[in-house]
Amino acid sequence: MRVPLEIEQPLWRELIAQLKQRGRGDRESGAFLLGPADSDMVTRFICYDDLDPHALQEGIINFNGNGFVPLWKTCSEEQLKVQADVHTHPGEWTGQSGVDQANPMILQAGHIALIVPAYAQLEQQMLEGVGAYEYLGSKRWKTFPHAAAIIKFKAKEHGIFRKFFQSLIDRFDRKKWFWGGRSAAAAEKF
């Protein structure tokens, strides 16, 4: 199974807010989730209508292939890759439609597709209730029982404390500290 993607909660909230605003409660909206080419971290997103201004006009996603040109340019310039795509559905149903199944946004095995319910209009939409799918190739998909099986929130790092304790560790020769200032050779006599 594929390693789960990671996204920070503030970025997820910003994504949901953008999908909510762009969908206006009456149409689908979507985005590509991007991250460093050498990791499974999502560090930014680009909404479909920023790449193709007409992508949302029909009420459902109708993404023109020309929109991939600025997407690939961004990925190339910033050394990013598309980690997943996300789009909204009306109501609570987050299954894949026949159109979703037949038209993966990225036609590559291992690509992840997420579906957010209720046009992203729900308050505090986190991962619960989000549909999650992995493209297997040849128009076949794997369905995950819940989105948290394939995408998780990155644990908060307490950077200040981590740096402080690491600096303390770096200041001391661990063997001398452990053995009360004795040299490693003297410590071996015990």
Buried-exposed string 12-45: b where 16+ CB fall within 10 A, e elsewhere: beebbebbbebbeeebbbbbbbbbeeeebbbbbb
Whole-angstrom CA distances from 188 to 79, 180, 182 are 50, 13, 10
Task: Please measure the distance between the N-terminal and C-terminal CA atoms of the chain and give it in whole angstroms.
Answer: 49
The b-or-e profile of 107-143 (16+ CB within 10 A means b, else e) is eeeebbbbbbbbbbbeeebebeebbbbbbeeeeebee
Q: State both tokens at 81.
A: 């890759």
In SS3 terms, 143-156 reads as EECCHHHCEEECCC
Q: What share of the chain in percent tops pLDDT 70?
A: 81
Read off the pTM.
0.81
Q: Which CATH class is domain 5-153?
A: alpha beta
Give me the residue spans of the domains in the chain.
Answer: 5-153, 159-188
pLDDT tens across 77-114, in order? Answer: 999 999 999 999 999 999 999 999 999 999 999 999 99
Note the pLDDT tens digit of each residue in 26-70: 999 999 999 999 999 999 999 999 999 999 999 999 999 999 999
H or E segment to which residue 81 belongs: strand 80-88
pLDDT-based confidence at 155, cuts 50/70/90? confident
Rounded to 5 degrees, φ, ψ at 151 are -140, 135
pLDDT of 190 reads 38
Q: Are 25 and 58 in contact (CB under 8 A)?
A: no
User: pLDDT by residue (tens digit) across 10-21?
Assistant: 999 999 999 999
What is the rounded CA–CA span in Å between residue 36 and residue 121? 29
